[in-house]
Amino acid sequence: MNEKNKKAILSIIFLIIVSVLLLVGCSPAFSDSAANSECQTSGQAVSTQDTEQSGNEEKTTASTTEATDTAFGELPREVDDIEALLEQMTVQEKVGQLFIIRPDSLDSSQTPEQVNDSSATGVTELSAAMTDMLKNYPVGGIAMFGKNIVDEEQLITFIASLQNTSCIPLLIAVDEEGGSVARLANHAAFDLPKYESAASVGATGKQSEALSMGNTIGSYLNRYGFNMDFAPVADVNTNPDNTVIGNRAFSSSGKIAAEMVNAMAQGLKEQQIIPVFKHFPGHGDTAEDSHSGLAVNYKTKAEMENCEWLPYESLTAADCVMVGHIATPNITGDFTPATMSSEIVNTILRNRLGFDGVVITDSLEMRAITNEYDAGEAAIKALEAGCDILLGPENFKEAFEAVVNAVESGTISEERIDESVYRILSLKQRYGLLT
């Protein structure tokens, strides 16, 4: 056989082999489960279980027992799952994860004034219109207030319906500190353990009492479907003129407050409830109430390190921190609220204190913010400062669209948004919400 014929035969064999390989498929194997997902086909992101490859690898489902036994500083699953989910998400879906809102914000018939009015009638069930709103504005979480709660059955049903509608599991949060701020324990329809105050628990000097408090509150929150508590109050009550913190704080001693808040937080975590330490950099030595105007703490950095910041020294990514609308002019040199100060959020909280978990703003509908900023501006400034979650903007749709437009215009990079969404999804995964 001559050389020319040999080459021709080899070419034919090569073509046959390539054809066979294309028929059986030799490209990298990707799971097609995401394509079959109802959420994915409707333009929504899916949970991490829909991004895993099929095959012999065993899928791990995080149960309450498993998550309790797992060190909270470690993720129970591969972090690559978060990257895979992030890659699937649109800008709108990513931006949605940055918001925790009142359920009333899903009711487009309500004005922002009605939404943020605690005395107004609140939504107590999920309507068809609210379902559509949640699909179009896929938020990361819902914060329940007293006006959204009727009784145990209603609350369980409402929370379950919200979770069933959301493609990525929601953070369901509430202010349940124990004492004067307890949306459930102080509700007439609920027969739950009550605490006089955090200060009364702190006065015992027993960390075991604070741990028990966290376990007790966490137990009933978990039963109703909550997974996040805007507690413990990590402020140190050092100013007798303070009208907003007072006995909500465990102590006037930074050391005792630190011991108590960490014990309470541990109790919450043992019940699969995410604790939110508040209000950084410290609301205990202010004379103002940020609900009605900007609060100011005039302490120096050295003074706050030795007192207000002690409760935040040993936090992990299993914890969250709520930053308050508090100015610290002797630290930052101006009256910028901490929620909008990169020096407070990044330089001090993240770099100096080493916190790499989720940072949540205090409610953005408070007058400390709305007196100076519109909803969109406040949201953008908080993200630029380093906050991850935007809580309760005055006008949710306006804030959402402002952030989307900022990303699409390059005012805020998508990489910056990804950084926060990664933290948020990792937190959800750590507590077994992404399965």
Of residues 382, 378, 299, 307, the one with CA closest to residue 338: 382
* Predicted TM-score (pTM) of this structure: 0.84
Determine, yes or no, domain membership for 174.
yes
Query: Which of 327, 321, 257, 272 is CA-nearest to residue 295?
Result: 327
109 domain-assigned: yes
Closest CA to 63 of 430, 429, 318, 432: 432
The DSSP letter of residue 110 is S
Query: pLDDT of the chain along its 435 residues, tens only?
Result: 544 444 444 444 444 433 433 333 332 222 333 323 356 433 344 443 333 333 333 333 333 333 333 444 444 445 578 999 999 999 999 999 999 999 999 999 999 999 999 889 999 999 999 999 999 999 999 999 999 999 999 999 999 999 999 999 999 999 999 999 999 999 999 999 999 999 999 999 999 999 999 999 999 999 999 999 999 999 999 998 888 899 999 999 999 999 999 999 999 999 999 999 999 999 998 877 677 688 999 999 999 999 999 999 999 999 999 999 999 999 999 999 999 999 999 999 999 999 999 999 999 999 999 999 999 999 999 999 999 999 999 999 999 999 999 999 999 999 999 999 999 999 999 999 997
Distance, C-alpha 179 to centroid of its chain:
23
Q: Say how far residue 432 (Cα) sits from the centre of its chain.
A: 14
Distances (CA, A) of 418 to 86, 88, 93, 113, 178: 7, 12, 11, 31, 35
**Catalytic choice (117, 291, 374, 418):** 291
Q: Which of 104, 175, 285, 362 is catalytic?
A: 362
Q: Is residue 57 part of a domain?
A: no
* CATH number of the domain that residue 218 is part of: 3.20.20.300
Give the pLDDT confidence score for residue 278 in this predicted structure: 98
In a domain, 27, yes or no: no
> Domain containing 370: what range?
77-430
Is 374 an annotated catalytic residue? no
Phi, psi torsion values for 360, nearest 5 degrees? -115, 140
User: Does any domain span residue 191?
Assistant: yes
What's the number of domains the chain is made of?
1
> Would you say residue 339 lies in a domain?
yes
Q: Has 291 been annotated as catalytic?
A: yes
Residues 424/391, Cβ–Cβ less than 8 Å: no
pLDDT of amino acid 205:
95
Instruction: Report how far Cα 288 is from the mean position of its chain's Cα atoms.
Output: 26
What Cα–Cα distance (Å) separates residue 319 from each residue in 316, 351, 359? 6, 16, 9
> What CA–CA distance (Å, rounded) separates 298 from 296?
6
- Partnered with residue 100 across adjacent β-strands are 141, 391
* Residue 291 confidence (pLDDT): 78
Q: Report which of 246, 212, 207, 248 is spatially closest to residue 230, judged by C-alpha positions.
A: 248
Residue 265 lies in a domain: yes
Q: Is 241 a domain residue?
A: yes
